């Protein structure tokens, strides 16, 4: 009889592969060698042929730890043993922008994107679990960055190049992937960085979540996951509303873009603020803070002739019934 955990992981991967089934598509599995990605790769190796999908495993060697090349090769070897013929190791250089975590992540995702492009893959599968999602929500809460951060990681997103980034295991626990590996005879690698409390995510995992469980009762991780699911649904609905509204109230202006003040004023604050952020992000590639957004919103709701507001990369100005955003050199 098939172990329930093995069945659950395979079912999650089967559902994630369904959109690509019977098309002869290729997908890349991001394989670090840890329990989560190893379980994902093994399940994909099992389900891929049944769905008519070719699975490629890509292990990124960041070269940041002693013996990293051996760890990467062992992960690739286990993928090959499970039937993934194309299991490759890619060595990357890691910069220093944004700190070690961010730099390694940027290098990793860039390499995965390049591997997918070079092999004609339509999707990259990533082994994030419910526990990763709970940690992401808590980290977003600490930054105070609203629903865009609290909604956590999406199970399926398309990037600007049309590549799908898929997280089949977001509803499963780390304990499930560890059990999958044990039941399947796989040997996961324990990344020492996962115990290094220099990293905020590790502190959340080892200190914050256990305290919340102890003080508030069990089930905190599941509650955070449910919160992310609900907020993501809300955020997607808001995004659709914003796109429809913007078509009617935004027009191009000299060196920038103009938004109808009466139309902004007629909308609830939540939509008004999202329109302001969306316009600035789309036109100038800048993410406004809440403080900056509220300052701009006051040009709509509390205007008494005040002058322009300087923002990163642009300037917001009220001119009669229009709120105009123009590029600046700053």
Q: Which residues are annotated as a binding site?
A: 32-37
Q: How many CB atoms lie within 10 A of CB 251?
A: 10
Annotated binding site for ATP: 32-37
Task: Classify the phi-psi angles of 125: left when phi > 0, otherwise alpha if psi is within -120 to 50, otherwise beta.
Answer: beta
CA atoms of 116 and 90, how far apart (whole Å):
12
| Integer angstrom CA distances of residue 85 from 5, 35, 275 | 25, 20, 48
Torsion of CA 28, 33, 37, 43, to 10 degrees: 80
Nearest residue to 300 (alpha-carbon basis) of 329, 269, 274, 261: 261
Torsion of CA 127, 102, 328, 316, to 10 degrees: 60
Torsion of CA 268, 270, 275, 278, to 10 degrees: -170
CA atoms of 316 and 307, how far apart (whole Å):
9
Q: Do the Cβ atoms of 204 and 135 come closer than 8 Å?
A: yes
**Positive or negative, the Cα torsion across 133, 136, 140, 142?**
positive
Give the list of residues 6+ apart from residue 261 with CB closer than 8 angstroms, or none.
299, 300, 318, 320, 321, 322, 323
CA atoms of 80 and 41, how far apart (whole Å):
10
Letter string b/e over residues 199-221, b meaning 16 or more CB atoms within 10 A of that residue's CB:
eebbebbeebbeebeeeeeeebb
């Amino acid at each position: 009889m098939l172990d329930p955990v093995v069945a659950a992981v395979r079912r999650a991967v089967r559902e994630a592969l369904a959109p690509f089934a019977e098309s002869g598509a290729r997908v890349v599995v991001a394989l670090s060698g840890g329990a989560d990605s190893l379980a994902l790769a093994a399940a994909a190796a099992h389900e891929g042929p049944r769905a008519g999908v070719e699975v490629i495993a890509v292990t990124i060697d960041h070269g940041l730890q002693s013996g990293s090349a051996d760890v990467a090769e062992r992960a690739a070897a286990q993928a090959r043993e499970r039937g993934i013929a194309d299991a490759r190791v890619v060595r990357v250089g890691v910069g220093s922008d944004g700190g070690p975590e961010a730099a390694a992540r940027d290098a990793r995702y860039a390499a995965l994107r390049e591997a997918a492009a070079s092999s004609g893959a339509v999707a990259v599968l990533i082994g994030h679990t419910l526990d990763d999602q709970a940690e992401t929500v808590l980290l977003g809460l600490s930054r105070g960055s609203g629903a865009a951060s609290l909604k956590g990681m999406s199970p399926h997103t398309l990037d600007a190049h049309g590549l799908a980034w898929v997280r089949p295991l977001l509803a499963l626990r780390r304990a499930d992937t560890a059990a999958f590996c044990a039941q399947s005879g796989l040997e996961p690698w324990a990344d020492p960085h996962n115990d290094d409390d220099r990293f905020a995510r590790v502190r959340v995992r080892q200190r914050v979540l256990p305290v919340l469980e102890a003080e508030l009762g069990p089930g905190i991780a599941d509650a955070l996951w449910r919160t992310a699911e609900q907020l993501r649904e809300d955020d997607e609905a808001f995004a659709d509303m914003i796109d429809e509204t913007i078509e009617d109230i935004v027009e191009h202006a000299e060196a920038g873009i103009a938004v109808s003040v009466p139309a902004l004023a007629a909308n609830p604050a939540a939509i008004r603020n999202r329109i302001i952020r969306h316009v600035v992000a789309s036109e100038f590639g800048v993410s406004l803070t809440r403080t900056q957004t509220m300052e701009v919103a006051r040009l709509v709701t509390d205007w008494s002739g005040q002058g322009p507001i300087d923002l990163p990369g642009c300037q917001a100005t009220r001119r009669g019934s229009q709120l105009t955003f123009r590029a600046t050199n700053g």
